[in-house]
Amino acid sequence: MTTPATFQMTAQQIAEIVKGHLDGDGTRAIRGAATLTDASEQDISFFHNPKYIDQLAGTKAQVLLIPEKMNGALPSLPGKTYIKVAHPQFAFAQILMLLDKGRVHHPQGIHPRAVIDPSAKIGAGTAVGANAVIERDAVIGDNSIIYAGVYVGERTHIGSNCLVYPNVILREDTHIGNRVIIGPGAILGSDGYGFATIQGKHLKIPQIGRVAIADDVEIGANVTIDRATTGETRVGSGTKIDNLVHIAHNVEIGKDCLIVAFVGISGSTKIGNRVTLAGQVGMVGHITVGDGAVVAAQSGLMNDVNPGELMFGSPARPHKEAMKIQALLGKLPEMYDTLKTLKKKFLPEN
Amino acid sequence: MTTPATFQMTAQQIAEIVKGHLDGDGTRAIRGAATLTDASEQDISFFHNPKYIDQLAGTKAQVLLIPEKMNGALPSLPGKTYIKVAHPQFAFAQILMLLDKGRVHHPQGIHPRAVIDPSAKIGAGTAVGANAVIERDAVIGDNSIIYAGVYVGERTHIGSNCLVYPNVILREDTHIGNRVIIGPGAILGSDGYGFATIQGKHLKIPQIGRVAIADDVEIGANVTIDRATTGETRVGSGTKIDNLVHIAHNVEIGKDCLIVAFVGISGSTKIGNRVTLAGQVGMVGHITVGDGAVVAAQSGLMNDVNPGELMFGSPARPHKEAMKIQALLGKLPEMYDTLKTLKKKFLPEN
Amino acid sequence: MTTPATFQMTAQQIAEIVKGHLDGDGTRAIRGAATLTDASEQDISFFHNPKYIDQLAGTKAQVLLIPEKMNGALPSLPGKTYIKVAHPQFAFAQILMLLDKGRVHHPQGIHPRAVIDPSAKIGAGTAVGANAVIERDAVIGDNSIIYAGVYVGERTHIGSNCLVYPNVILREDTHIGNRVIIGPGAILGSDGYGFATIQGKHLKIPQIGRVAIADDVEIGANVTIDRATTGETRVGSGTKIDNLVHIAHNVEIGKDCLIVAFVGISGSTKIGNRVTLAGQVGMVGHITVGDGAVVAAQSGLMNDVNPGELMFGSPARPHKEAMKIQALLGKLPEMYDTLKTLKKKFLPEN
């Protein structure tokens, strides 16, 4: 791990930070954080899922974040120090945040090699890295970090406290809220894939809309989000998008969604709030996915999905039905043989 | 929408531009364009698919592009102005083109921060943005626009009237035709994935061929097209490629194809003309897909496809057969139960 | 093909280089190399797979690399010169390597427009291209080539004899071995996709681990490899990764694997040595894939895979079982009809 060599806290201090209940020796020194299997004796770790009870039993970590309300008994681990919290994983995230402090030197100030149009407005405390290009009438809020090689198109707005990693491209008129994180190589505002096909030739439909990203969104590396034909392609606040996702023109995504790698969302489809789209899910255009729906990995959606529904398969069916079919597929050879026997016995003429 | 504030035309003027037949008040002022659902009273919109008849009935747009030959009756919408044309979507595209004019300031001239080898040839009227790198013996035609951060390798040729968005990488010896549009972050000429495996070690086969893109091709954001091992990886004229598509070494794609996001085409496969590959389609190497074939989303091709054939599934089957199987999968639980009853009754010994 | 005009060797000279047995006229001049179908009379070609016997019969190439031990008889091709070797494809690769020499002028020296922190260490003979950014305390070994626009984060280490193509991003603390090739636009060290979800809000878990790539790895264009939450995301020596692959946080991949385009590997999954993951394969997190396993294209893994196992389907099953099911799916309409007849005859009450 890449922990700063200078980090050191006691179990007691950590318990106070995460507002947890200390059970064991509070004077133990913590110098880093790691998973149960990777931890050394000086790392803090966390346990939140009974599935990992064996890892807990074998961990070298001496200080452990555990749930206030345990599902089942802890193994007897003499000498361990426990810190009991409501959400061990979140408490662990808080410790990682402390370790993360000072780990990286983000760009500071305006690099002399940044290329900034005189009409662009850069907020107080905002940094712009080497070779970044900020076009005319672009606006960036306060305390945002624009890494090297980022391209910010004309009239594009970036809010405050954003983190934009190297080589991100935000084409013209893109609108980014506050506290948005954009991974390296992500592209927002590329042309939507729209053509009018006349006598076999595909004629380009100009894409003059834009992309609008709300507050607290995170966007992964090499993601592509196309601008709308007219109007907006929208991502709602708090939604987290993994690497290499594709969001087509005029798609609207709600709040607090999870969209995993290689998901492809076709044009004008509407995704509700708190929807989970697992890896490699694809969906056709012009459909609606209701609030809280969950689509399992590699599924293909061809129709609307009701709120809260769990879908699976290509094409997707309700999860229970899809799993039943999967189970029966395993019995297909046996079914075929039985049918052959019955046919031979009762339908010999066929 | 991001319409220039200065745009204004009458319905009459628009009818003339799109060569349409005006039916209604020709003096209405149009200030923008939008879909039926997004349009305000000052936007023009279009209707071309009976599926959206409800949107038509509810739209705020007062001026509408509609088909000359309607399939079924229009709803009675008193006060609307219609412009009847052969292809409403194409007419709409023509209006968007007018709106698009002057919307963006593409780079102009050679940016002082471009890095251009003295041996490179840049055509008249061609622009090269900041931090673009043009290597030795590269050649760019007239009136092309090379955005910031683009990399043009040695001996790479780009035709005239091309539009190359930020951070595109065209490695050495790539050949790009005229009027080609390449989306941000697209990579052409990367090494093909070729190895000779000897005693479990994968030894690199040098990839010394190239990529050749014909006229009027459009390539989406973060697409990758690998150079040939020897010879060429080819994309035919008029073919339109969506974001995040992967085209392997020595693939040959015909004219006027549509290749949707996340399609992966393995090495040496040949795609005919006017082929449609829907999202997330994959195919093995060394197969041939005939002219006019259509492959449905998420399908996997393992064999040649006949011209005009419609394929679906993973592995893919003719669409009709695949849909029949999909329907029967839904009946599998019922089939299983019937079979169980029959077996109990007639094959009790099993 | 893009062969240097100056290349010329005799069949005899080539036989010596590839340590092959010459059978035919050794004085024939070779000026290039190509596949059987593309070759001109002055190109050398190779034949290694009986599947291509027709291409062999029709090739214009006069000098051919063929296997020492043929599977079946060669067609009678009077006048051809054969060079018999153990591995024709590898011998062909050796010739391509000769042709590749001098084909491209990689960057040399430190470009005046590179942006290098004074604390970074650049080895002897290492080149850094225009607009590359090398952050503080980065270390690059000897004789590596860093192309234009590459970003090398703080404390990132790159070994010797590496080749890093344009616009690659290596975020902080990434560790790259020797003789590693990284394709254009690849991103290593982006944040892992990790959130603690509390009351419907997804709170970021800081990702403070790193990415470690061993020797002789090749990574394709626009690949993304996320840094570990804590600890390392690892790729073992000799593993070759195709374009547009996604490797999540804390994944560990063994040696000499082949990972084809659009493969997505979820967090903390462990892949053994010599594993092949075909195109568009996806897998859930926290599973283990044994040494030598092969996963067919578009498959989805939800569970551990035994060493040497061949898997197929979504969700994946052992290949033999999956292929049997695929075959029976084709018989499903017939099965349904038979069942209907039986039911009508014997279960009329239903």
Encoded amino acid at C200, one letter? G
Q: What is the pLDDT averaged over residues B147-174?
A: 98
Angstrom distance (rounded) from CA C80 to CA C50: 18
- Picking from C171, C172, C190, the nearest residue to A243 by CB comes out as C190
Residue B205: list chain C partners with CB under 8 A. Answer: 89, 92-93, 96
Catalytic residue among B111, B175, B246, B249: B249
The tens digit of pLDDT for each residue in B102-159 reads: 788 999 999 999 999 999 999 999 999 999 999 999 999 999 999 999 999 999 999 9
Q: What is the pLDDT averaged over residues B28-46?
A: 93
Q: What is the pLDDT averaged over residues C130-148?
A: 98
Contact: C206, A244; criterion CB under 8 Å: no
CA of C285 to nearest chain A CA: how many angstroms apart?
A: 11
DSSP characters for C95-161?
HHHHHHTTTS----SB-TT-EE-TT-EE-TT-EE-TT-EE-TT-EE-TT-EE-TT-EE-TT-EE-SS
Dihedral sign (CA C97, C100, C106, C109): positive
Angstrom distance (rounded) from CA C160 to CA C178: 5
pLDDT of residue A349: 67
Contact: C200, A279; criterion CB under 8 Å: no
Contact: C280, B284; criterion CB under 8 Å: no
Phi/psi at A84 (5° precision):
-90, 125
DSSP characters for C269-328?
-EE-SS-EE-TT-EE-SS-EE-TT-EE-TT-EE-S-B-TT-EEETTTTEEHHHHHHHHHH
The tens digit of pLDDT for each residue in C76-113 reads: 788 899 999 999 999 999 999 999 987 889 999 999 99
pLDDT of residue B1: 42
Percent pLDDT > 90 in chain C is 88
- B260 close contact with A: CB closer than 8 A: yes
Contact: A105, C136; criterion CB under 8 Å: yes
Nearest alpha-carbon partner for A38 in A52, A50, A18: A52
Chains within contact range of chain B (3+ C-beta pairs < 8 Å): A, C
Assess whether pLDDT exceeds 50 at residue B341.
Answer: yes
pLDDT of residue C74: 76
Chain C from 85 to 124: CB within 8 A of any B CB:
87, 89-90, 92-93, 96-97, 99-100, 103-105, 111, 113
Residue B92: list chain A partners with CB under 8 A. Answer: 196, 205
Contact: B260, A193; criterion CB under 8 Å: yes
Contact: B226, C243; criterion CB under 8 Å: yes
pLDDT of residue A24: 94
Cα dihedral B142/B143/B147/B149 (nearest 10): 10
CA of C328 to nearest chain B CA: how many angstroms apart?
A: 10
pLDDT of residue B42: 94
Give the gyration radius of chain C's Cα atoms: 26
B316 to chain C: closest CA residue: C326
3-state secondary structure B80-145: CEEEEECCHHHHHHHHHHHHHCCCCCCCCCECCCCEECCCCEECCCCEECCCCEECCCCEECCCCE
Contact: C148, B136; criterion CB under 8 Å: no
A88 to chain C: closest CA residue: C196
- A136 close contact with C: CB closer than 8 A: no
Q: List C-alpha distances in Å: A253 to A173, A181, A256, A337, C60.
A: 19, 17, 9, 48, 56
Residues 6+ apart with CB under 8 A from B249: B191, B192, B193, B194, B207, B209, B226, B227, B228, B229, B233, B267, B268
CA of C237 to nearest chain A CA: how many angstroms apart?
A: 20
- Picking from B153, B196, B200, the nearest residue to C89 by CB comes out as B196
pLDDT of residue B2: 47
The tens digit of pLDDT for each residue in A220-230 reads: 999 999 999 99
Q: What is the ipTM of this complex?
A: 0.95
**What is the rounded average pLDDT for all residues in chain B?**
94
- Picking from B153, B154, B190, the nearest residue to C220 by CB comes out as B190
Residues 6+ apart with CB under 8 A from B177: B159, B213, B214, B215, B216, B217, B237
Residues 6+ apart with CB under 8 A from A321: B330
pTM > 0.80: yes
- Picking from A221, A333, A350, the nearest residue to C187 by CB comes out as A221
- Picking from A111, A222, A333, the nearest residue to C187 by CB comes out as A222
Contact: B200, C274; criterion CB under 8 Å: yes
Q: What angle do CA A28, A33, A37 make, to 5 degrees?
A: 105
β A240-241/A201-204 pair status = unpaired
Q: Which of A337-346, C152-161, C305-314 has the lowest mean pLDDT?
A: A337-346
Percent pLDDT > 70 in chain C is 97
Q: List C-alpha distances in Å: A75 to A52, A58, A70.
A: 12, 10, 11
CA of C267 to nearest chain B CA: how many angstroms apart?
A: 21
The tens digit of pLDDT for each residue in C194-211 reads: 999 999 999 999 999 999
Residue C331: list chain A partners with CB under 8 A. Answer: 336
CB A48, CB A27: distance < 8 Å: no
Assess whether pLDDT exceeds 60 at residue B37.
Answer: yes
pLDDT of residue C62: 95
Contact: C191, A183; criterion CB under 8 Å: yes
Chain A from 261 to 320: CB within 8 A of any B CB:
262, 264, 266, 280, 282, 284, 298, 300, 314-315, 317
CA of A257 to nearest chain B CA: how many angstroms apart?
A: 21
Residue C193: list chain A partners with CB under 8 A. Answer: 220, 240, 242-243, 260-261
Contacts 24+ apart (CB under 8 A), A273-277: A273/A236, A274/C200
Contact: A191, B185; criterion CB under 8 Å: no
CA of A261 to nearest chain B CA: how many angstroms apart?
A: 11
What residues of chain A score a pLDDT lower than 50?
A: 1-2
- A33 close contact with C: CB closer than 8 A: yes
pLDDT of residue A65: 96
Assess whether pLDDT exceeds 70 at residue C52.
Answer: yes
Residue A324: list chain B partners with CB under 8 A. Answer: 332-333
Nearest alpha-carbon partner for A336 in C347, C327, B329: C327
Catalytic residue among C111, C249, C286, C319: C249
Dihedral sign (CA C125, C131, C132, C136): positive
- Picking from B190, B209, B284, the nearest residue to C243 by CB comes out as B190
Residues 6+ apart with CB under 8 A from A296: A278, A281, A310, A311, A312, A313, A316, A319, A322
Nearest alpha-carbon partner for C336 in A346, A325, B314, B324: B324
Tell me which DSSP letter residue B72 carries: S
Q: How confident is the model at residue C219 (pLDDT cuts 50, 70, 90)?
A: very high
Determine whether B249 is an active site residue: yes
